[in-house]
Amino acid sequence: MKRIAAVILGLFIASTMSAFSAETKVVVSDMHICCKSCVAAIDKTLKDVKGVKYTVDQSKDSVTLMADDTASAQAAVDALAGAGFQGKSDNKDVAMKDNSGAPDGKVAKLEVSNIHNCCGKCTEAIDKAVKGVTGVKESTVKPKVNSFTVTGDFEAKALVKALNDAGFHVTVK
């Protein structure tokens, strides 16, 4: 009888401890993860984020984060954005922030930087997103370069949105 009581007490304590755990799971989807170099860049970005474990699913263009708490999960998402990756969070408490610096209204020229662009497939996806923005005439995007210039007569925020929707996080000047 004492053994059964000890087992029950142990199970109660274990379930109570997990109930108080603040572990946070976040799936960031719709990212641009086209190759092993993209995966390696994500690994390099997240490996030192404290309190976070993660898996990268290249086939689903997503990263699953398991964090000690919401703050750690947000730090990981912020690190991904800082490395030029964009996606959609499935967690209402953890989000990609718009820190692009895009001005309101139309512009004739915009410098885009801090974008993840490790290979030709990244460059093709970036170029397709840029060319899909009404009023864009030209861009100087090149493979393996994380900054470029866009010219034309276009909405700056529309350009940022197009790149974000394609899985890329950027800053602009």
Two structure tokens written together for 144: 């393996």
Q: How confident is the model at residue 2 (pLDDT cuts 50, 70, 90)?
A: low
- Pairing label, strands 52-57, 62-67: antiparallel
**Residue 86: helix, strand or coil by DSSP?**
coil
Residue-wise pLDDT tens digits, 74-103: 999 999 999 999 999 999 999 999 999 999
Mean pLDDT of 3-21: 45
Cα–Cα distance for residue pair 75/81, rounded to 1 Å? 10
Tens of pLDDT, residue by residue over 128-169, are 999 999 999 999 999 999 999 999 999 999 999 999 999 999
Domains belonging to the chain, first-starting first, are 21-89 (3.30.70.100), 106-172 (3.30.70.100)
Residue 112 has pLDDT above 70, yes or no: yes
Site of tokens 């004492």: 2
pTM for the whole structure: 0.86
Q: What is the pLDDT of residue 77?
A: 98
User: Which tokens in the block code for residue 16?
Assistant: 């109570």
Q: Which residues contact 15 (CB under 8 A, 6 or more apart)?
A: none
Average pLDDT of the residues in 22-29: 93
Distance CA 169, CA 167 (A): 7
Question: What rounded mean pLDDT belongs to the chain?
Answer: 91
- 14: tokens are 């274990």
Torsions phi, psi for 89 (to 5 deg): -85, 140
Rounded CA-CA distance 109/69 in Å is 41
Closest residue by Cα to residue 52 from 70, 34, 32: 70
